[in-house]
Structure 1
Amino acid sequence: MTRHCFFAPCPRGLEPILAAELEQLGASSVQGRDGGVQFQGDWRVCYRANLESRIASRILWQVATQPYASEADVYNIARALPWNEWFTPALTIRVNVAAIKCPLRSLDFVTLKIKDAVCDKFREITARRPSVDTARPDIRIHGFLDAWKFSLYLDTSGEALFKRGLRERAGEAPIRENLAAGILRLTGWQPGIPLLDPMCGSGTFLLEAAQISLNIAPGLERGFAFEKLTKFDKALWDQLRKTAIARQKPKTPQPIFGSDLYGDVLAAARANLSAAGFSEILTLKQANVLEISAPAPFGFLVTNPPYGVRIGEQQALTEFYPKLGDVLKKRFSGWEAYIFTADPLLPKLIRLNASRRTPLFNGALECRLLEYKMVAGGMRRVRQGNVPQPTKS
């Protein structure tokens, strides 16, 4: 089959683990970039990446990359492409443009020129043109410009891949699902090892851990833009879906635990887990993180503590973080704790020595994944068994 060039954006900081994941899915010529991974593959690789990647935000098919100097160059490059061979004018489109060090004055004007080029090409060939739908387009076209090169991509995903089709209710400022999956990968946690999120919010870490434990492909419950392309291979897609479903494990109870102080927040987590069919495989309860005990002799604690709105203002935080550190020291010996936060106060006030601080981004917000090894000899004995070392980055 013909090999194509693709780009998979992801949360910044997760590029190395996305690259490894894409290689496992059959991608070749894999190269990490700032904010994503460039790779090559046929349509099987593209379909599998959409269906099975837990880390990618989208899978973009590169259809052009050329030098440019003006808006007219952008228009001409876009106009020359065989859009009519890729999709029909009955479908709606949206054009998105991003740039770094671009000399052109208006990205809005560049966006308009790309849209005009696509529509003009359709009018020339078919006497019809696609309509623009900025809310729910059938086809998303992405343009990217640096100082001298213009690249165009067709989005094969449609809705962003972190929209798994599972979440019923979102809590306050939840982290995206692919970021949660990436954090779990960075910790070194594996299915079968106890996992606790004691401030679980709407349950994002729990949902991702359950899917990983049961080997459920994250894209099984949703549709994709590539299904609307003219040369969509339905037989191949049906085969890949059937293979993914056959790899799923039975829904047996897993050592995954979640809790939260707030009943309304816990109700959102319960609704999400129930909608996904995971209610019976993990344990969820209402509890204060400062009063809980470890649910197993060893395991991984992974959490994104709420800050500001739910816990209170600065004074409340200065009281909460040291208490959290005390709980980890006294009640979680033998565990590894991973705290994901954008709050610069936390590492200063928790009174624990972080063994690793991994920079990550939650959207545009710079965060840290803090690793605390609450261990003496106990965890080292465990590591001779099945618990892997966390990946370094």
Structure 2
Amino acid sequence: MSAQVLRFFAPCPRGLESVLADELSKLGTDTVQPANGGVHFQGSWKTCYQVNLGSRIASRILWQIAKTPYRNEQDIYNTVLALPWHEWFSPKLTIRVNLAAIKCPLRSLDFVTLKIKDAVCDKFRKTTAKRPSIDTVHPDIRIHGFLDANEFTLYLDTSGDALFKRGYRKAAGNAPLRENLAAGILYLTGWQPGTPLLDPMCGSGTFLLEATQIALNIAPGSQRHFAFEKFKQFDQTLWSTLKKAVLIEQRPVTQQSIYGSDLYGYALSDARINLEAAGLLDAVHLKQANILEISAPAPQGILITNPPYGVRIGETQSLAEFYPKLGDVLKNKFSGWSAYILSADTALSKTIRLKATRRTPLFNGALECRLLKYDMVTGSLKK
């Protein structure tokens, strides 16, 4: 396999672009450039495999196959038709086309999507006398197009299912946090393995799972398959070598200073099922408890949680009573700790009656949130 330089784009939850750029640099990528909603980078096929295997924060890894000016739908059709699709994958595989646009002058994105599908199928017909079928639910190959006011960019998705689908989640609560957002938040807190970590409203356990995988050096993609395995240029030997290398680097499952609790037994049951499916149940301390009644499990550490907010529960009155009590618990029982609370509730920062030392804007899907940091400083810690 030639080590040709390829261009990629890794989308991620908005607000995590800078931590994703750092992560991609550590994973061996070149020419890393954060953009709105993701990071551009360059590398070889080996880089592509390594990043799919090792990125905790990226949503997908998209291989850029075209970037060109356009004026109309025919320009887009011609660009797509000119590409050597038959050299990349077999017409026996199913495809899906996704299209996004910002300030695009063309009238119908649905029509442009159809033109892209037609061009791919027409190229296959010309070169192989066969054409791929469309599957919008479980396609083998995803093609992503992006239009701005002047340029058309086309990508082949090397990941397949989104990268936050690690392959172990068996149970999900009412509003589970996506794994890559949870991992990005852990990076933003500066948490390091060995530092006590507590999620006192752990739900289905996403923070606990991501933290444990980081602590045990488990590659997030080691338990799943990827779309690039279906590409004609797929190098099975290289892929097997990379997977073996990350498995050797994994640490044995031992108990970590990672603690999770939840008021509700069913939520804790979901967390237990997910940890067990990942083979990580023995690494985490779990217990059923009310956040307003717990104590800190260590003199210092990081508390991180995604409490219910109006969108999820709709009980504005009970939340208005809950947040001040939460502030009191953090003040009285967690001195020496740093607390991070992800919230879409703008009233939270007022009603919790604590001064946030940092506010980081993040998006949980389409929902705009803030990651609020509270330093619980005691007199003895003001050295």
- The interval holding the TM-score normalised by the smaller chain is over 0.9
Q: State the match for 1:267 in structure 2.
A: 269
Retained in 1: the 8 A contact 2:94–2:132?
A: yes
The counterpart of 1:41, out of the listed 26, 40, 43, is: 43
Cα distance between partner residues in 1 of 2:27 and 2:267: 36
TM-score w.r.t. structure 1 length?
0.95
Distance 1:354 1:75, change over 3 A: same
Q: For 1:303-382, list aligned pairs within 5 A.
A: 303-308=305-310, 313-376=315-378
Cα distance between partner residues in 1 of 2:362 and 2:213: 22
What displacement does 1:109 show? 0.4
Retained in 2: the 8 A contact 1:15–1:36?
A: yes
Q: State the match for 1:18 in structure 2.
A: 20
Q: State the match for 1:109 in structure 2.
A: 111
Retained in 1: the 8 A contact 2:175–2:312?
A: no
Partner secondary structure for residue 301 of structure 1: strand
What displacement does 1:308 show? 3.6
Please tell me the residue identity of whatever aligns with 1:91: L
Distance 1:66 1:379, change over 3 A: farther
Please tell me the residue identity of whatever aligns with 1:13: G
14-23 or 368-377: which moved more?
368-377
Q: For 1:142-221, list aligned pairs within 5 A.
A: 142-221=144-223
Please tell me the residue identity of whatever aligns with 2:153: S
TM-score w.r.t. structure 2 length?
0.98
What displacement does 1:35 show? 0.1
RMSD: 1.1
Distance 1:115 1:293, change over 3 A: same
Partner secondary structure for residue 165 of structure 1: coil
Are 2:303 and 1:295 aligned?
no
Partner secondary structure for residue 280 of structure 1: helix
Unaligned runs of 5+ in 2: none
Deviation digits for residues 86-115 of structure 1, max 9, x if unmatched?
Answer: 000000000000000000000000000000
What displacement does 1:307 show? 2.5
Cα distance between partner residues in 1 of 2:212 and 2:40: 29
Please tell me the residue identity of whatever aligns with 1:32: P
Deviation digits for residues 189-242 of structure 1, max 9, x if unmatched?
Answer: 000100000000000000000100000000011000000000101111001100
Cα distance between partner residues in 2 of 1:143 and 1:5: 15
Cα distance between partner residues in 1 of 2:315 and 2:378: 35
What displacement does 1:311 show? 5.9
What displacement does 1:312 show? 5.7
Unaligned runs of 5+ in 1: 382-393
Please tell me the residue identity of whatever aligns with 1:322: P
Q: State the match for 1:391 in structure 2.
A: none
User: How many residues are matched?
Assistant: 381
Please tell me the residue identity of whatever aligns with 1:72: Q
Cα distance between partner residues in 1 of 2:311 and 2:69: 48
Partner secondary structure for residue 236 of structure 1: helix
Q: Which runs of 4+ in 1 moved over 4 A?
A: 309-312, 377-381
Partner secondary structure for residue 359 of structure 1: strand
Deviation digits for residues 5-39 of structure 1, max 9, x if unmatched?
Answer: 00000000000010011111111111000000000
The counterpart of 1:59, out of the listed 61, 68, 83, is: 61
Q: State the match for 1:387 in structure 2.
A: none
Retained in 2: the 8 A contact 1:57–1:178?
A: yes
Distance 1:377 1:246, change over 3 A: farther
Partner secondary structure for residue 281 of structure 2: coil
Cα distance between partner residues in 1 of 2:379 and 2:242: 45
Cα distance between partner residues in 1 of 2:139 and 2:47: 24
Cα distance between partner residues in 1 of 2:115 and 2:249: 46
Please tell me the residue identity of whatever aligns with 1:295: P
Retained in 2: the 8 A contact 1:298–1:379?
A: no
Partner secondary structure for residue 98 of structure 1: strand
